[in-house]
Amino acid sequence: MSAPTSEPARGTARIPAGVKITATAPVQRAGGGYDEAPTVVLEAPPPPPAAPRAVPADVEPPRRPARRVVPRPKWVVAAVLVFVFVSLLLVEAYANARFTPDHQSEPGDTTIVPDRIIEGGPIINAPPGQEARSYRLPPKTIALTFDDGPDPTWTPRVLAALERYGAKGTFFVIGSQVVRYPELADELARKGHELGVHTFTHPDVATLPQWRRRMEYSQTQLALAEAAGVRSSLLRFPYSSTADAIDDNAWRLLTKAGELGYVTVVNDRDSQDWARPGVDQVVANMIPDGDQGAVVLLHDAGGDRAQTVQALERFIPMMQARGYSFVTVTDGLRRALTDPRTGAAPTVLRNPPADAADRQRGLALASAVRIADWSLQFFALLFLVVGLLTLARTLLLFVLSGRQARRRRGDWSWGPPVTAPVSVIVPAYNEREGIEAAVRSLAGGDYPGGIEVIVVDDGSTDDTADIAASLGLPNVRVIRKANGGKSSALNTGVAAARSDIIVMVDGDTVFEHDSVRQLVQPFADPEVGAVAGNVKVGNRASLVARWQHIEYVIGFNLDRRLYESLRCMPTVPGAIGAWRKDALLSVGGMSDDTLAEDTDVTIAFGRAGWKVVYEGRARAWTEAPASLGQLWRQRYRWSYGTMQAMWKHRAALVDDGPSGRFGRRGLPFLALFGIALPLLAPVIDLLAVYALLFAGRAETVLAWLAMLGLQMVTGVVAFRLDKERLTPLWTLPLQQFAYRQLMYLVLIQSLVTALTGGRLRWHKLRRTGEASVQT
């Protein structure tokens, strides 16, 4: 017979033009199977040479369009994404630096601290080139100072207490808090309270280098400029105390701050409200000796400040009754510097306005912190989503896959034995390393109905076809055709097949002796249109291959049990799958619309109402990529093709009948568990690293171990169902640190490039022929 020359009607598979059958095919026996015949070779004659065309000398011949190949990993893009994400986490970690409540430390040596400072007041000015001086507040004058704010809960309550009694306060703010709650800083400034610098992240500045200290001060100034439009010359170091506790280290810090134009403020009375000793004790700690003035230390953030607010409600009216006035630090300093004879006082601005440049720089700083905050909140939400999806998937796997496995125990069968002849199609492109083992395993199967093996050589440039033809096996035919892609090769085989049951096998795959027989038994159920077999990794020597072995058992075979239970199987693997020929022809055969022709046609079967089932007893051993580069190429094609297939069949989401059932069940499952969950999984790893470095380490380690434990339990269940030894699971923890990251990158690049709708050729992975049946 010769190839058709006209466009085939729907319902027929097409043999590419030029393919010519040159030998007699085996004759089918009346009882099924085929009489023995020599190996038949079908050859496609070379195309006739094109007539030469005259090309003018000044015209450059047109270039042949380059065929797109699987793109190399976009390491630059990935590096930029990782850099941006890590930068956001570092900004967040910096802005979220944890601090402990104020404490009293033992003072060190005071060999360089002037006595007048140790014995002086809490307001210290040490300008460069001038004598350092300290100041006390006048008698019956109190400056209430509040550290660590602003806080959305406690600052408004403190502010309300001050306003109730007409008192003013000085708030030494943390810059990162000002960025997060700018409206509070602005409200404090507008209502006449004073803002001072308490650093940006509340570190122990004595442990920081000078450049970092300056950054802590300047960033707080920028935060004030953006939030309230002001700046401040007042500075209070975190964990500072009274003037008599200033030692040599503190004095160096103080003089360096003076060089930057800051006036340092410590305190006379520490309320110790951070320790929450009780309201009575807080009030007692705030009362000055006699009629002395005092700078009182309190807090409006950093913990539960209910005792602080209650103490203020009692302390302010009590001291006002004694004749005390409550002022800001700057107002108190002005009173201290007022000449008692003339009443002349220096002009000291409470919070001078910030210039436009500082406001703009403050906006940039605030934007960076807020974006980092929003990003962390977003990723925390994704973390929750990933956790819920993982838990839901695990529960579904345990319940539905376990139920499917239990139903098939014992003497369960699909129905009467299937013995109809079977045609096995092997599309091959440069498969010389493994084609002999694959063909021999197929041709020598124990299936009683007869096996016809059709090797379709898709324009190989090696001796794949010659090796297959030279085997001399009576039930093997070889078709040679020009290179047209895997779908074209499969359709050629379907058109040449004489059986109503089609088995499709990759050219690097080895079948077990009973695999064909086991694979076709589900066709005893007339509703079954396709069968997915059990793909095994046949080369497990390398660590990368072992990781794929784990993935095949857990991520593929266990999932197929789940999908079968829900009647939404998305993929019959190209390595081992069986099809009803008439059903395959009715959906148009194997399409080249996507890179995942097996997923494309499987979805088409589901939409057409056919059952697609999983037969775990039919096992095929395939050669998994042994290097990360080869793995990249394979998984990119899979991921990209799956996304294309989902997009192609998107109309199923709104269809009626079987198509709608598959669309509203299978496509969401595939989107959630095949794309969304793997894409979001890096959030777990990145947030785990972030938390390990900047948050609670014990909690992070426990959470990560819990996730790993869940994966390990899933792996044990999957390996038991597949009757596999558990030994390879010891590599599962290592898989989290290399293999998973590559899969992340594959999915991300696939998602981006899938939007272009580009086509890739049938990409050939390098094979070694190492796939074999593992016992």
Annotated active-site positions, please? Answer: 147, 299
Q: Is 681 helix (H, G, I), strand (E, B) or coil?
A: coil
As a three-state string, the secondary structure of 519-541 is HHHHHHCCCEEEEEEEEEECCCC
Could you list the beta-strand ranges (E) of 110-167: 123-125, 133-135, 141-149
- Rounded to whole angstroms, how far apart are CA atoms 219 and 94? 12
The continuous run of DSSP H or E covering 75 comes out as helix 75-95
As a three-state string, the secondary structure of 356-367 is HHHHHHHHHHHH
Q: Count Cα atoms within 13 angstroms, Cβ side, for 593.
A: 16
- Rounded to whole angstroms, how far apart are CA atoms 254 and 184? 28
- Rounded to whole angstroms, how far apart are CA atoms 148 and 97? 12
DSSP conformational letter for 609:
T
577-580 and 501-504 strand pairing: antiparallel
The CA-CA-CA angle for residues 748, 751, 754, to 5°, reads: 145
CB 105 within 8 A of CB 89: no
Written as six digits, the tokens of 534 are 């059990």
Pick from 272, 290, 294, 291: nearest CA to 142: 294
DSSP symbols for 370-438: HHHHHHHHHHHHHHHHHHHHHHHHHHHIIIIIHHHHHHT-TT--SSSPP-S-EEEEEEESS-TTTHHHH
| CA distances, 163 to each of 156, 193, 326, 508, 694 (Å) | 10, 10, 11, 82, 38
- Rounded to whole angstroms, how far apart are CA atoms 57 and 24? 51
Pick from 199, 141, 195: nearest CA to 169: 195
Other CB atoms closer than 10 Å to residue 131's CB: what's the count? 9
DSSP symbols for 557-618: IIHHHHHHHHT------TTSEEEEHHHHHHTTSS--SSS-HHHHHHHHHHHTT-EEEEEEEE
Q: Is the peptide bond before 152 cis (omega within 30 degrees of 0)?
A: no
End-to-end CA distance of the chain: 44
CB 446 within 8 A of CB 514: yes
